[in-house]
Amino acid sequence: MTTVPIDARLAALAEPAPAGFAASVYAGWVEVDGPVGPLYVAFTDRGISYVCPTSWMGGDAGRFLEYFRGRFGRPLRPAARAPAGLSAALRSGRGTGLDYDLRSVGEFDRKVLAKTLEIPRGEVRPYAWVAREIGHPAAVRAAGSALGRNPVPILIPCHRVVRSDGATGNYGFGPQLKVDLLRAEEVDLDGIQRLGRRRAHYVGSDTTGVFCYPSCTHARRITDGHRVELANAAAAAGAGYRPCRHCRPA
């Protein structure tokens, strides 16, 4: 039996398709330059729904199309242009101005991803920060699992969430890509991990009396002579330090 492509079936309809019908059936896709290599990006009429490094598909667009249809249940067709703002978001590392179609994940995951979207380029936060910020401080592992299901990585920057000891942790497209993305954003991974080995999770300024996560933009301005290493929030509070309003440490 010969299979007729869906395009041909739709074209053979006696009546014109209703406005917006094609958008409800298909998702569009484009290939764009990412911060550390090209990306396949899929999107619907609601927003960006999936991002994948082309290398993860062996540079095979056909394989990407098959994977997307298997995971999301929708066929893809090439789009004439990328979603507005996509290239600028990839260059700047700020994806907050884009629309996302996150119907493929549950409500808890969407809360985790929305919070992760707030982490600025060049900074990292621990998994515990994400869980605490969404009001579920005990759900650290669940937050990590939600990040592992992130369908829109890089734009929703799950690579900016690391372990509390400074180790980068897991990543859906492999730990090396996570490291590459963070180094491209000039995150001082070596310095953060050295602090972690010394069991210092925060740094404070003895001039401002404020303590931060080590990658915080304010922490990076503290000169060596005024930088204080702090083991935890209790130690910081006991020494008279108050939490940074930007990075919101525990």
What are the structural domain ranges in the chain?
24-92, 198-250
Rounded Cα distance, 147 and 59, in Å: 24
Checking if the pLDDT of 10 tops 80, the result is: no
C-alpha neighbours within 13 Å on the C-beta side of residue 64: 24
- Strands 210-212 and 242-243 turn out to be parallel
% pLDDT > 70, the chain = 90
For residue 104, the tally of other CB atoms under 10 A from its CB is 14
Known catalytic residue at 247: no
11 band by pLDDT with thresholds 50, 70 and 90: low
| CA-CA-CA-CA torsion sign (204, 205, 209, 213) | negative
Q: Is the pLDDT of residue 20 over 60?
A: no
Single out the catalytic residue among 52, 158, 212, 247: 158
Check if 24-92 and 198-250 are the same fold: no
Question: Averaged over 210-231, what is the pLDDT?
Answer: 96
- What is the pLDDT averaged over residues 25-51? 96
Return the pLDDT at 25: 77
Pair of tokens at residue 150: 């992130």
pLDDT in tens, 97-128: 999 999 999 999 999 999 999 999 999 999 99
Higher pLDDT, 88 or 23: 88
Query: What pLDDT, on a 0 to 100 scale, did the predictor assign at position 2?
Result: 57
Q: Indicate the pLDDT class of residue 34, thresholds 50, 70 and 90.
A: very high
For the segment 32-58, the average pLDDT, to the nearest whole number, is 97
Q: Residue 22's pLDDT is what?
A: 56
* pLDDT for residue 183: 97
Structural fold of domain 198-250? DNA Methylphosphotriester Repair Domain (3.40.10)
CATH class of 24-92: alpha beta
Q: Which segment of 17-26, 112-121, 140-149, 210-219 scores lowest on mean pLDDT?
A: 17-26
- Would you say residue 73 has pLDDT above 60? yes
Reply yes or no on whether the pLDDT at 80 is more than 70: yes
Going through the chain in order, the beta strands assigned E by DSSP cover 27-34, 37-44, 47-53, 76-78, 125-126, 161-162, 202-205, 210-212, 227-230, 242-243
3-class DSSP string for 15-52: CCCCCCHHHHHCEEEEEEEECCEEEEEEEECCEEEEEE
Model pLDDT for residues 169-214, shown as the tens digit of each residue: 999 999 999 999 999 999 999 999 999 999 999 999 999 999 999 9
Question: 24 versus 228: which is more confidently predicted?
Answer: 228
pTM comes to: 0.89
Q: Is the pLDDT of residue 56 over 80?
A: yes
